[in-house]
């Protein structure tokens, strides 16, 4: 099973900087599953530079074949069925302003998307500021 | 090995690389500093750096897809673009350097970036994407060094280009950096 080949993470998701209630869950093509509670995305992904709706973007693409991804964040939920030949990515999105009192990055949401043939074909963004799920699809 | 969230800070471009809490745009001439910027003219250049992991902690994630934008202000104004500096794209930014090293402030390499207007005006980009990352590659990321436990930075120069007709006033706006990361 794919899930059994992946190392289990010792630190909790919160200790890794993930806010409570924010979580990804993967179902691999063989039906096995892993979640963020015991898995680091760095452990299962690689950095790729891809086409992104007319621009370039760096994404951390999962190295394993995925059938389905579910991401929850701040009471919102987004999921994607991954078509054959496509790869999946996700990332936290943070923001920092030049501001004396708050000079620390704040998490503003979480994105997930699909890459096929070096191009992003779909991206969803769980916006923690406006509390809505936004998306783009080609 | 997992990483924890990037530790991003705005800092001075010169030693001791203090944390920046205010960028002040004024006009300086020989013998006279901190003058108001005149209509149709440029401010003096203000340089700053965006650092990841200045403290040199271990297992700090890279910040990738780094981009910069301007808003009307922090707090209530952090999502609006109604003031002139923002919707007329007064702010101009270009990348001047990058670096990584185990010891802050990091080794510096110069880079001559493209001068770009930021803002929601017709001449500006809503988002400015730095051309090179802290590793010197054409990828807008700021790493915590090559081993997730060092310091990395990009350096930017900024100035205001005022339109020919501006009311005499003191203007405030906010500069913001966004980035993505995985643990």
Over chain B (183 residues), what is each successive 10-residue block's mean pLDDT? 90 92 88 87 95 94 95 82 90 96 89 93 80 93 92 97 90 93 95
Q: Considering CB atoms only, which of B2, B175, B179 is closest to A94?
A: B179
pLDDT recorded at residue A125: 98
Report the half-sphere exposure of A20 (CA within 13 A, side-chain side): 0
pLDDT recorded at residue B106: 87
Residue contact B178–A93, C-beta within 8 A: yes
Contacts of B68 in chain A (CB under 8 A): none
Structure tokens at B68: 């910069």
Q: What is the ipTM of this complex?
A: 0.95
Please tell me what DSSP assigns to residue B137: S
pLDDT recorded at residue A28: 98
Residue contact B182–A100, C-beta within 8 A: no
pLDDT recorded at residue B124: 66
- Is residue A53 within 8 Å of A61, Cβ to Cβ? no
Neighbour tally for B157: CB within 10 Å = 17
pLDDT recorded at residue A20: 93
Structure tokens at A128: 């923690």
Strand partners, B151: B101
- pLDDT for A101 beyond 60: no
Task: For an interface test with B, give the residue of A17, A45, A89 to mutate (most B CBs within 10 A).
Answer: A17
Confidence bin at A77 (pLDDT 50/70/90):
very high
B interface toward A at CB cutoff 8 Å? Answer: 1-10, 19-23, 61, 63-65, 71, 74, 78-79, 129, 139-141, 174-183
pLDDT recorded at residue B28: 86
Q: What is the 3-state secondary structure (H, E, C) of A88-106?
A: EEEEEEEEEECCHHHCCCE
Residue contact A60–B182, C-beta within 8 A: yes
Taking the CA atoms of B23, B150, B63 and A8 in sequence, report the sign of the dihedral they define.
Answer: negative
Cα angle B171, B176, B177; round to 5:
160
- Cα separation, A121 vs A87, whole angstroms: 10
Q: Considering CB atoms only, which of B2, B61, B63 is closest to A43?
A: B2
Q: Considering CB atoms only, which of B5, B74, B141 is closest to A99?
A: B74
- Cα separation, B8 vs B63, whole angstroms: 8
């Amino acid at each position: 099973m794919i899930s059994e080949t992946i190392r289990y993470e010792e630190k909790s998701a919160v200790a890794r900087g993930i806010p409570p209630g924010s979580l990804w869950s993967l179902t691999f093509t063989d039906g096995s599953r892993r979640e963020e509670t015991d898995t680091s995305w760095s452990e299962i992904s690689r950095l790729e530079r891809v086409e992104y709706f007319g621009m370039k973007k760096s994404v951390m693409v999962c190295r394993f074949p995925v059938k389905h991804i579910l991401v929850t964040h701040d009471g919102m939920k987004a999921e994607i069925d991954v078509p054959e030949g496509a790869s999946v990515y996700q990332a936290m999105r943070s923001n920092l302003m030049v501001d004396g009192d708050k000079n620390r990055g704040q998490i503003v949401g979480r994105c997930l998307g699909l890459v096929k043939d070096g191009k992003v074909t779909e991206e969803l963004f769980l916006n923690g500021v406006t509390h809505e799920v936004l998306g783009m699809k080609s | 090995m997992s990483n924890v969230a990037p530790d991003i800070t705005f800092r001075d471009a010169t030693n001791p690389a203090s944390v920046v809490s205010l960028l002040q745009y004024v006009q300086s001439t020989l013998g006279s500093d901190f003058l108001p910027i005149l209509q149709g003219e440029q401010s003096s250049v203000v340089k700053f750096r965006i650092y990841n992991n200045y403290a040199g902690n271990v297992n700090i994630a890279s910040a990738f897809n780094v981009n910069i934008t301007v808003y009307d202000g922090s707090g209530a104004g952090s999502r609006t673009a109604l003031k002139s500096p923002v919707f007329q794209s007064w702010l101009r930014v270009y990348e001047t350097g990058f670096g990584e090293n185990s010891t802050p402030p990091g080794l510096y390499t110069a880079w001559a970036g493209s001068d770009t207007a930021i803002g929601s005006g017709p001449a500006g980009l809503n988002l400015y994407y730095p051309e090179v990352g802290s590793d010197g590659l054409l990828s807008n990321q700021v790493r915590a060094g090559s081993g997730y436990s060092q310091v990395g930075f990009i350096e930017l120069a900024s100035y205001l280009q005022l339109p020919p007709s501006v009311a005499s006033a003191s203007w405030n706006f906010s500069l913001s950096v966004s980035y993505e990361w995985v643990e």
